[in-house]
Each structure stands twice: as C-alpha cells, then as structure tokens.
Chain A
Amino acid sequence: MSLLNFFVNLPVRYIYDQKNYLSYFLKKRVQPELGLDFLSLDEFPINWHKEVAQCFQAEDLKVAVHFPFLDLRPGSMDPMILKASRERLKKAVEVAFYYQPVHAIAHVGYFSVDYDDFYKEWLENSVETWEEISRHIGGEFPLFLENVWEEEIEPLRDFWEYISVDNLGFCLDVGHWFSFGKGKEKENLSQWLQNLAPYLRHLHLHDNDGLEDKHLGLGEGEIPFSELFAGLELLELKPSFTLEPHTQEDFFASLHFIDQHRRWFSYLGVKETNFKRYMAETSLD
C-alpha cells in the first residue's frame, strides 16, 4: 500500500528506456498510472509487461493504466479509422489485464472542428465504441474517459446521458479544461463540475497558463484550484486523482502544493504527511 493514495503518470516507455523510473516508483512507493502507447503494445514483449506488473504487485502498489490516444478516433465517421481505433483500444485492454489496474483512462475524442456537423453520428459511433470496449473489459476494472479538446460541456454530457454502461466514468482533466477547453477565458469550471458531477470519478491534475497544455506542477500555473476544491466539496464529490507532471521538478512542485493544501487533499483521501521523503535522494535525470 502507498501512503500517497493517488496516482502519478508514468509512460511504460520510460520504464523500458530507463530502469531508474521503475526503481524510483517502487522505492518511494508511488502508485503509477501507466501510459500504454502503440509502441508498448506492439513492440514490448508480453513477458516484459508481466515482469513490470509483477514488480508493482510484489510491492503491494496499486496500478492504473492510461490507454493509447495518439491518432485514435473512437467516434470516427470513417469506418476504417473507427475499426482501427477500436482494435487498438481492445489491444490495450488485453495488455492492461496483466497489470490488474484499479482503473483505466482513455480519451473521449470529441473534436468540434471535425464533428460539429456530424454530431449525431459521432455520438452513436462513440457510444458503440465504448460499449464494445467495456464489454471487452468485462467488468475487470472501471474505465474513465477524459476530456482533452472539448470546449463545450454538451458532447460530454450527451455522451454520458446516451450510454448505459456500468463502470464508465468521467475523468476531468483540469489542465485540458483550462487550456484546450478555454477554461481560462470562459471561467466556467463550476459549470463543468455541476453538469458532469453525476459521472465524475477521477481527476487528472496538472497546471498551465491557459495558453498551452504545459503539464506543470500544481501551483506553477494559473488554474484556480481553490475553485476546484470548493466545487468538489460543495457537490460532495470525492474522485480519485492522478498527478500528471512532465518533469521531476513539476512532480516535486505538485507534492509541495499538496503539502501546502493538506485540507483540500485530505478531503480526497490523501493521508501522507511527509512529502519531503519523495523529493530526497533519487533523481530521474
């Protein structure tokens, strides 16, 4: 068990390329959200995945997985792209089984420029895709779909109202909402939270300046985290969460931020009190 009680993103490709990532997570007892991409699915031997999974299981560390997203279009109009997207996701499910994850993350994939004129078709195709993927998962772990480029709440809300699959939740990526979703400009976090509250199960936490999706440490950008936590408390929502820093410095900044805002994070179940121990000794560079 980890005292951190949350997840930190870690592309499996990093483990494959540099062993010190794996040893850091194991030594510091950090729960990973393992990013699976097409390369790790097609090129890495299954036995390698099994060994990595075994390392975390041996340390009694929970694992989450993040499904591939590059080039994928789960609601595509083009039957061939749609088929390829579904096959790629199914392959990710099969590899994910080895890790026995507590949850998996994937992207909703609404691109307004492409789909605004084919809204109904996008919705139907998406629902069919995720129903198919959920059947493939077979109730082994919950799947949370994350916002990326969505600027409006409607496609997300319509999707969850339309689909009827157990164990399918929404993952609010606050960094994506603030930058891609124009949250900085629109100041509409409360609307996102209130409209998607019934489906919210997980958070992706990182920071940015509202212009680019920089994946900075928490507090290093301009995301109104006070609004986020006030909203969660008012709506009585307690989602699990993953930190998504892109550098070790940003990870440390996020830990420092959690340390400085214990009241907020204890609401989300964080029990750890000694954050310094995660920052000492080990460097990932």
Chain B
Amino acid sequence: MTVKKEVQTLIVPPACAQQKLISFLKQKTKGEIPYSALMRLIRRGEVRVNKRRSKPFYRLQAGDEVRIPPYYASQKETAPPFSLHIVFEDKNLLVLEKPAGLALHKGSKTPCSLQEMLLNHFVDKDFVPTPVHRLDKETSGLLLLAKNFATLTSLQKNWSQVEKRYLAWVKGEIKKETILEDYLLKTPHKIVFSPQGKKAISRVKPLLFLKSKQITLLEIKILTGRTRQIRAQLGLRNHPLLGDKKFKEFTTPFLALHAYYLKLPSKALYSYPSWPKPYWQERFKKLI
C-alpha cells in the first residue's frame, strides 16, 4: 500500500546543524524514499534549501529551510521482529543492546533494520539517534548512538580512543592471554592473512574452558577496528567463533560474539549476552 506525502517545509533545528543534506533527508523521510531517489530529487532541484538548489553533501545550518517535494511512501503493516532495548540514555547518547540477527541498515536480505526501527521509534525527534560505529548483523551487544550531530562527529572522530571489549566462544582451547597481531586483507569472498593487508591487533584473554565441548570463552579487546577483525583473527588460527558460518563453524545456530564493554573518556558501559545454556551457564561468575 502506498500513501502520498504532501510537500513539506522543514526548519533545520540546532541539533542537526552541520549534518549533510542527504542524511537529513534520509532521516526526515524515514527511509520511505530510497537513497538513489533522494539523490535524484536533490540533483533535479526538487529539494530546495532556502528556496535554492543545493548539493547532497551541503552541510546544513541551524535555521535553514528545507523543502521536500511530494512523494509516495510505502506502508508496512507487519510488526518488526525485534524491539529496542535501551541500556543507557542521556541528552547526547543512546546505548542499545543490539540483538544478533538485526542489521543496522536495510538491504535486500534484511527487510527489517535498526535504522528503520529508529526512524519509527524517534519519529518526533529533530535528530534521529544515529549509530556511532558498526556492529555486524550477527553480532549482539552494545551499540552507541548519538542524539545530535555534534556528538556523532565528536565520537566518530575519537572512536579509536574508546576501549572495546567483546565476549566470544571459540572452538578449541586457548590457555593464556595473548596479543594477536596480523595483517588482514579483504578479498571479494573472504578475509586472509597477507602482508598487503591492514594491521589488526586484538588482545584475547581466556575466561573459561568447557572441557566436555572443547570450547573457550574469551574476552577480546580490539585495538584496531578492521572488518570482521575478531572472527578473522581467530578463525584463521583454527579457533573459529561458534556459529561463524564464514569459517564453516556450525556448532551453534547463533554467532557467539557479543560486544559487552565500552569505555568512553567519561563513562563505562556494559551488557551481558543472552546466550542459551551451557554457553552462559556460569553467567557473570568468570568475568570478575
């Protein structure tokens, strides 16, 4: 079912100052217009800023007047299979516990995305909370979102200074704390160790070994942020994460990787996995 949306004129609030026109429009049209169509509307001059044509990457100023032309929006009637679980909130930050299986962005294989849920949930907000960092679809755990553009840019700029720790179950036994230092190269189908790759550093610390299943629970602190860094560094060492299909590990129906701790300059945040037994039988005990 489609609904015609009439022409809208929006005044850019201070919270959105310095945001690019294209991302502002993406938020305000709640994902109802595809990205390519939005670009087209801007290029054709149908989107106006202060009554004039504008460029997609123009950085808006507070008080700018943005005209969105009429468009047709498709309406969905099914409830999303996920709900937003808020761990922490203040005037600048929103911290969610992302469940495994929820993608950040919409795609051909992921009709339900976090982005879409946020647009619906924060429909009345000037600035829809926006993820500061990425988290793979199959990875669960803490996701930090900024509630205004200034916080978003500031956190993204300083993201390397944020301490990030994960919990993961891997195949085999890892006996002692180790630093993994590799060069990871992304090829079209997989990630491999290669001197041409990018440097990836992680510190892994074993917390628990389940002898009967020959699996180890690890705390992993990543010191670089490469694509699928943890999965690749461990998988390529024959310690694939449980449920990591990319490394042909099918022990569990879920990927046993959870972003459980973030330390910002001013605050620490944590979340525990909701893995089923026995993977979380000793809940919390071995962490402290």
Contact = CB atoms under 8 A, between A and B. Distances in A.
Interface of A: 190-191, 194-195, 197-198, 224, 226-227, 229-231, 233-236, 263-264
Given A226-B284, A226-B285, A263-B288, A234 B87 contact: no
Interface stretch (B22-30, B251-259, B266-274): B266-274
B43 interface: no
A104 to B, nearest CB: 27
B247 to A, nearest CB: 29
Contacts of B88: 191, 194-195
Given A231-B270, A234-B261, A236-B268, A194 B87 contact: yes
24 contacts: A190-B87, A190-B270, A190-B271, A191-B86, A191-B88, A195-B88, A195-B89, A197-B267, A197-B268, A198-B267, A224-B284, A226-B283, A227-B272, A227-B283, A230-B272, A230-B287, A230-B288, A233-B288, A234-B261, A234-B270, A235-B268, A235-B270, A236-B268, A263-B288
Ranked 10 nearest A-B pairs via Cβ:
A226-B284, A234-B270, A230-B284, A194-B88, A230-B288, A235-B268, A233-B288, A230-B287, A227-B284, A226-B285
Contacts of A236: 268
B269 A194 contact: yes
A21 B249 CA distance: 62
A12 B167 CA distance: 48
Nearest to B283: A226
A198 B90 CA distance: 12
A236 B86 CA distance: 21
Nearest to A231: B270
Given A197-B268, A227-B272, 20 more contacts: A190-B270, A190-B271, A191-B86, A191-B87, A191-B88, A194-B270, A224-B284, A226-B285, A226-B288, A227-B284, A229-B288, A230-B284, A230-B287, A231-B270, A233-B288, A234-B261, A234-B270, A235-B268, A235-B270, A263-B288
Contacts of A195: 88-89
Contacts of B288: 226, 229-230, 233, 263-264
Nearest to B287: A230
Interface string B88-116: 11000001000000000000000000000
A236 B283 CA distance: 20
Contacts of B95: 194
A270 to B, nearest CB: 15
A194 B95 CA distance: 10
A172 B86 CA distance: 20
Contacts of A194: 87-88, 95, 269-270
A227 B287 CA distance: 10
Nearest to B91: A161
A231 B87 CA distance: 13
A234 B268 contact: yes
A203 B86 CA distance: 24
B166 to A, nearest CB: 14
Contacts of A264: 288
Contacts of B267: 197-198
A194 B272 CA distance: 13
Nearest to A198: B267
Interface string B184-216: 000000000000000000000000000000000
B208 to A, nearest CB: 14
A255 B88 CA distance: 33
Nearest to A264: B288
Interface in B233-288: 261, 267-272, 283-285, 287-288
Contacts of B268: 197, 234-236
Most buried by A among B87, B269, B288: B288
A191 to B, nearest CB: 6
Contacts of B269: 194
A131 B285 CA distance: 41
B287 to A, nearest CB: 5
A263 B283 CA distance: 17
A235 B268 CA distance: 5
